[in-house]
Amino acid sequence: MSDLSDFSESDFDKAASSDKKSLSRAKTSKDPPAKAQSKLPDSEEKSKNPPARKESSKGSDSEKKEPPKHKKSTKQPGQRMASGSESLPALDKATGVLSPPDFFISKIVHDSQCFTPKVGHCVVEVKGLIYIFGGEDPDGNPTSVLLKFNPGSNSFEVVDDLDDGPGPLRGATLNVWRAHSRGEPSLLLFGGIDDEKEAKSEAWAFDLNKSSWQELKLKSRPEARYSHAAVFCEKTNGLYLFGGQKADGTVIQDAHVLKGTTWSYIESAEDKCAPAGRCGHSASLCNLEGKSVVAIFGGDLSGSGKGDNDLWLYDIDKDKWKKMEDFAGEPPCPRWKHAAAFFDNRLWVIGGTYGGWFKNYVMSDFFVFDFLAKCWFKCDVDPKELGSHTDIGSLTVLPSSRAIFIFGGADQHGYPSSDVYRLAPVCTTVTLGSLRQDISRTVGEVKQVRSEMDSTLQETRVMRDTVSRLEEASGAMEQTIQGVTSAAQRAEVKLGELTNSTQLLQDTVKKLEEALAQMDATVRSFAVAEKKFGIMEVTIQEALAKLEQKADISSLRAVAAKVDPNSDEDDD
pLDDT interval class at 18 (50, 70, 90): very low
143 lies in some domain = yes
Q: Which residues pair with 146 in a beta bridge?
A: 133, 160
Decide if pLDDT at 181 tops 80.
Answer: no
Q: What's the mean pLDDT in 461-480?
A: 91
18 lies in some domain = no
pLDDT at 429: 44
Segment 74-90, tens digit of pLDDT = 444 333 343 333 344 45
28 lies in some domain = no
Q: What is the C-alpha separation between 36 and 34, in angstroms, rounded? A: 6
Q: What is the C-alpha separation between 307 and 54, in angstroms, rounded? A: 17
Q: What's the mean pLDDT in 338-365?
A: 87
Q: What's the mean pLDDT in 282-301?
A: 94
Cβ(282)–Cβ(231) below 8 Å: no
Cβ(410)–Cβ(424) below 8 Å: no
Decide if pLDDT at 109 tops 80.
Answer: yes
Strands 129-133 and 146-150, how do they pair? antiparallel
Angle at 474 between CA 473 and CA 478, to 5 degrees: 120
Q: Which residues pair with 122 in a beta bridge?
A: 133
561 lies in some domain = no
CA nearest 416: which of 451, 388, 378?
388
Q: What is the C-alpha separation between 321 and 310, in angstroms, rounded? A: 13
The 10 Å Cβ neighbour count of residue 188 is: 22
pLDDT at 524: 84
Query: Across the chain, how many H-helices and E-strands are there?
Result: 3, 28
Q: What is the DSSP letter of 158?
A: E
DSSP assignments along 453-515, one per residue: HHHHHHHHHHHHHHHHHHHHHHHHHHHHHHHHHHHHHHHHHHHHHHHHHHHHHHHHHHHHHHH
Q: Which residues pair with 299 in a beta bridge?
A: 308
Decide if pLDDT at 196 tops 50.
Answer: yes
Segment 449-465, tens digit of pLDDT = 999 899 999 999 999 99
Segment 29-65, tens digit of pLDDT = 333 333 333 333 333 333 334 333 334 434 333 344 4
**Which amino acid would we find at residue 281?**
H
326 lies in some domain = yes
102 lies in some domain = yes
Segment 126-177, tens digit of pLDDT = 999 999 999 999 999 999 999 999 999 999 999 987 778 999 999 999 999 9
Residue 419's domain spans which residues? 2-10+56-74+98-429
Decide if pLDDT at 274 tops 90.
Answer: yes
How deeply is 374 buried, as exposed, middle or buried, from its count of CB atoms within 10 A (0-12, 13-18, 19+)?
middle
Q: What are phi and psi of 372, to 5 degrees?
A: -70, -40
The pairs formed by 142-148 with CB atoms below 8 angstroms and a separation of 24 or more are 142/168, 142/169, 142/170, 142/192, 142/193, 142/194, 142/195, 143/116, 143/118, 143/168, 143/170, 144/168, 144/169, 146/206, 147/114, 147/115
Segment 233-260, tens digit of pLDDT = 999 999 999 999 999 999 999 999 999 8
N residues, the chain: 572
Q: What's the mean pLDDT in 111-127?
A: 92
Q: What is the mean pLDDT of the chain?
A: 79
17 lies in some domain = no
Decide if pLDDT at 430 tops 50.
Answer: no
Q: What is the C-alpha separation between 342 and 370, in angstroms, rounded? A: 10
% of the chain at pLDDT higher than 90: 42
Q: What is the C-alpha separation between 38 and 44, in angstroms, rounded? A: 13
pLDDT at 245: 95
What is the CATH classification number for the domain harbouring 242? 2.120.10.80
Cβ(239)–Cβ(185) below 8 Å: no
pTM listed for this prediction: 0.62
Decide if pLDDT at 318 tops 80.
Answer: yes
pLDDT at 204: 96
Q: What is the DSSP letter of 103?
A: E
Q: What's the mean pLDDT in 202-207?
A: 95
Cβ(309)–Cβ(335) below 8 Å: yes
342 lies in some domain = yes
pLDDT interval class at 125 (50, 70, 90): very high
CA nearest 99: which of 441, 433, 438?
433
Spatial neighbors of 388 by CB under 8 A, at least 6 apart, are: 411, 412
Q: What is the C-alpha separation between 147 and 156, in angstroms, rounded? A: 7
pLDDT at 96: 59
Q: What is the 3-state secondary structure (H, E, C) of 329-364?
A: CCCCCCEECCEEEEECCEEEEEEEEEECCCCEEEEE
What total number of domains does the chain contain? 1
Q: Which of 4-8, 114-118, 291-295, 443-447 has the lowest mean pLDDT?
A: 4-8
Q: What are phi and psi of 187, to 5 degrees?
A: -105, 140
Q: What is the dihedral of CA 296, 433, 100, 389, to 10 degrees?
A: -30
CA distances from 491 to 66, 197, 426, 466, 497 (A): 112, 98, 90, 36, 10
pLDDT at 94: 56
Cβ(313)–Cβ(295) below 8 Å: yes
pLDDT at 95: 57
pLDDT at 229: 96
Q: What is the C-alpha separation between 374 and 328, in angstroms, rounded? A: 6
Q: What is the DSSP letter of 439?
A: H
Segment 501-550, tens digit of pLDDT = 888 988 888 888 888 888 888 888 888 888 888 888 888 888 888 887 77
**Which amino acid would we find at residue 224?**
A
Q: Sheet holding 416-425: strands in order across?
A: 5-7, 103-109, 416-425, 403-410, 394-398
Decide if pLDDT at 326 tops 80.
Answer: yes
Cβ(394)–Cβ(406) below 8 Å: yes
